[in-house]
Amino acid sequence: MSGLCYEGNMREIPLTKNKVALVDDGDFERLNQYTWKAFKRHNNWNAVRHVGETMFYMHRDILGLSYGDGTIVDHINGNGLDNQRDNLRLCSVKENIRNQHTTCGSSRYKGVSWSKQRDRWRATIMVDRRHKHLGFFDNELDAAVAYDIAAMKYFGEFSFCNFEMAAAA
């Protein structure tokens, strides 16, 4: 397979389930010799290949990490199929969890929920397994901004912010 090439030296490796993995041009030839599959884990897609019963993740292969060595790799932009080197970084389990993009509940924003008792939006953040109350807000956007400010304060470069402007601040 040839894989598409983009400006900036990025290539696509086709996966199963009509997915593609993005890799740097310098990694393409080595990785493209294998058959990679799309694998969904924790609401995120990853590129994997199997050798016998063992599953190998593409992002770990790119960084030269051994299977089962305990090293954690974070996809900075949260896209597990974007395996370009500048999107991968080593981190702790705690740092990786902080960069999760998942939301649940009544709001579309991370760290925000609707308080029926107060009839207002509430912003909270979990720091070292403790919930910190950030305040009640008249609108969902203000609560999301409050979460972003707290995420940058507590988590720094590993924070997932609801808005790009907060990440750049």
Q: By the 8 A CB rule, do 55 and 48 touch?
A: yes
Report pLDDT for 132.
94
Report pLDDT for 99.
73
Domains along the chain? 5-91 (3.90.75), 96-168 (3.30.730.10)
> 58 φ, ψ to 5°?
-60, -40
Whole-structure pTM value: 0.67
Q: Per-residue pLDDT tens for 48-85?
A: 999 999 999 999 999 999 888 889 999 988 899 999 99
Report percent pLDDT > 90 for the chain: 63
**Mean pLDDT for the chain overall:** 88
Cα Dmax for the chain: 58
Nearest of 168, 113, 116, 124 to residue 146 by alpha carbon: 124
d(CA 16, CA 39): 9
**H runs (alpha helix) in 44-139:** 58-62, 93-98
CA distances in angstroms from 127 to 49, 131, 134, 145, listed in the order given: 35, 6, 12, 17
d(CA 109, CA 146): 11
